[in-house]
Amino acid sequence: MLKSVLVPIHRAGWPFIGGFFALAVILGFVWEPLFWLGLLVTAWCIYFFRDPPRATPTRAGLVVSPGDGRVQMITKATAPSELNLGEAPLTRISIFLNVFDVHINRVPVDGTVTGLHYHSGSFLNAALDKASEENERQEIALETPDGVRLAVVQIAGLVARRIVCDLHEGQQLRAGERFGLIRFGSRVDIYLPDGVAPLVAVGQRAVGGETVLADLTSDEAQRLGEER
């Protein structure tokens, strides 16, 4: 029970938590009700930067979700040109993170970082399709030990103003490892290799580091879903 309540906080959150708390104290001297309002915002900030442990499936070939949130869309799109994954359209799974979701991003597969590219841009609503091309984003190319390549893109949203990515080219990674975060509402896109079908449906909730988005070794057709 305590483990579900006393969740670790990501180190990037402490400056914000301290800042909100200090502001709450200052506002309290101006007018006491403002202190409680500031304390409420501080509590939300603690909740936002929570970093719960995850149980990652470890079988080779599984692609796990890089973030928590709702599967916003599954469509065909060309991967960012800077990552050199070719011009052919690939299946792109877009996961939208609202301000109440865990915003820690996790590595989807075992592999090596083969490319990184940061792109400054707008801060449109991350739920929009054009956010993939117009918003601030961090693009990441990964290659599995079997030579399969895929891409993950962190996309800033309407409220988000900072993408954190702790990776460097050539880095060896394991599926489920933490690699960064996006502050205050955002989206993550993952581009699957050609011929790999998604195993999630639009509207489904994904859990970062746990939900299996695809299986690189399977020839199963794309799964459909409906709200019930």
Which residues are the active-site residues?
186
C-alpha–C-alpha distance, residues 112 and 172, integer Å: 5
- Chain centroid to CA 153: 8
The token duo for 71 is: 């599967």
Question: How far is the CA of 211 from the CAs of 84, 108, 168, 215, in angstroms?
Answer: 27, 10, 25, 11
Number of residues written out for the chain: 228
Quote the longest CA-to-CA distance of the chain. 64
Kindly state the helix (H) or strand (E) to which residue 179 belongs, with its residue range.
strand 178-182
Q: With beta carbons less than 8 A apart as the criterion, state whether 192 and 214 touch.
A: yes
